[in-house]
Structure formats: C-alpha cells, structure tokens
C-alpha cells in the first residue's frame, strides 16, 4: 500500500466509499492476511486488513462500545469474559473498563495481528494486552471452544 492511494470500499449495492491514505506507518503479512497501519484522511490512524479499514482512531468507539457494553451490562456479574477474534485489542479495552472483570481470555487465530496491534495500536487499544487480567491464546476460536467446553 502506498501513500496517496485511494481505497474503495463497497457500502451497499450502488454506493462505494473512497478513502485517501495519507501516510503508511507499517505493513506486515501473515499467513492469513495483510496488515497495514496507516493514516487515513479524515479518520486518523487506522488498521487495514486486506485493504479494508477495520478501525480508525476517529470513530472506532461507535463499533467497540456498542459491541461490548450491552452484553457486559446485561450480565449480572461478568467476571470471566471470552473474546474470539479481536486481536486489535480494542474490544478488550472496553471489556476491561468493567471493574468486576477478573479474567479475560482473548483467542485469535493470527499471532501477527496480536503482535502488530501490541506494537502499533497501543494509543487506540490503551495497552489493553498488558492488563494482568488478560490471557491471549493463539488458536482458532472454534477449536478453543471445543477444547475448553465443560
């Protein structure tokens, strides 16, 4: 990916969104996908996977807060939480805002995403991987469930 590139993302049958890459900070390829940490005009620092924007610093909270907090507030006492996927650490950041959480297991199939996110997304995920309540497991999510089902 190069600076000045215009990314085109479909947003429905007849709508496409255009995003301009202002600066590329880092790229990495894993056996599963290609990761890019870049500045997108109007959205700031962003994580792209296979040329699709996964999150941006300007609006990621819309998604992650709505993903996490309804479930966390509906449970009477969520002490143990499992996140499957979420290798960017941002849903993890939101889960850790709940003081009654004692343990979070984050399972992601791609170790490159987790390490890339630790290295480049800390300003967005607020260092959530460093919380002592967090355990990261590199494994397919379905395999993890099969192995740990009680």
Calculate mean pLDDT across residues 21-31.
96
Is 2.30.140.10 the CATH number for 6-56? yes
Mean pLDDT of the chain: 94
Residue 127 clears pLDDT 80, i.e. is over it: yes
Q: pLDDT per residue over 37-67, tens digit each?
A: 999 999 999 999 999 999 999 999 989 999 9
Two domains, one topology: 6-56 and 60-148 = no
> What's the half-sphere exposure (Cβ side, CA atoms, 13 Å) at 64?
24
Q: pLDDT per residue over 71-111, tens digit each?
A: 999 999 999 999 999 999 999 999 999 999 999 999 999 99
Q: What does 17-82 look like in DSSP terms, one character per residue?
A: EEEEEEEEEEEEE-SS-EEEEEEETTTEEEEEETTEEEEETTTHHHHHHHHHHHHHHHSS---EEE
In whole angstroms, how large is the CA radius of gyration of the chain?
16
DSSP, collapsed to helix, strand or coil, labels residue 87 as coil
Rounded to the nearest 5 degrees, what angle is found at the Cα of 26, between the Cα atoms of 24 and 28? 130
- Does the reported pTM lie above 0.85? yes
Domain ranges (residues) in the chain: 6-56, 60-148
- pLDDT value for 1: 63
CATH architecture of 60-148: 3-Layer(aba) Sandwich (3.40)
């Amino acid at each position: 990916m190069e600076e000045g590139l215009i990314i085109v993302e479909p947003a429905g049958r007849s709508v496409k969104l255009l995003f301009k890459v202002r600066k590329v900070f880092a790229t990495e390829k894993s056996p599963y996908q290609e990761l890019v940490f870049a500045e997108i005009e109007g959205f700031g620092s962003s994580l792209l996977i296979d040329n699709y924007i996964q999150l941006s610093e300007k609006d990621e909270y819309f998604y992650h807060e709505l993903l996490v907090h309804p479930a966390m507030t509906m449970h009477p006492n969520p002490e143990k939480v499992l996140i499957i996927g979420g290798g960017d650490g941002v849903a993890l950041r939101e889960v850790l805002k709940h003081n009654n959480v004692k343990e979070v297991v984050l399972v992601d199939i791609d170790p490159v995403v987790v390490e890339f996110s630790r290295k480049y997304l800390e300003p967005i995920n607020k260092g959530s991987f460093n919380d002592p309540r967090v355990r990261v497991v590199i494994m397919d999510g379905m395999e993890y469930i099969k192995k740990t089902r009680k």
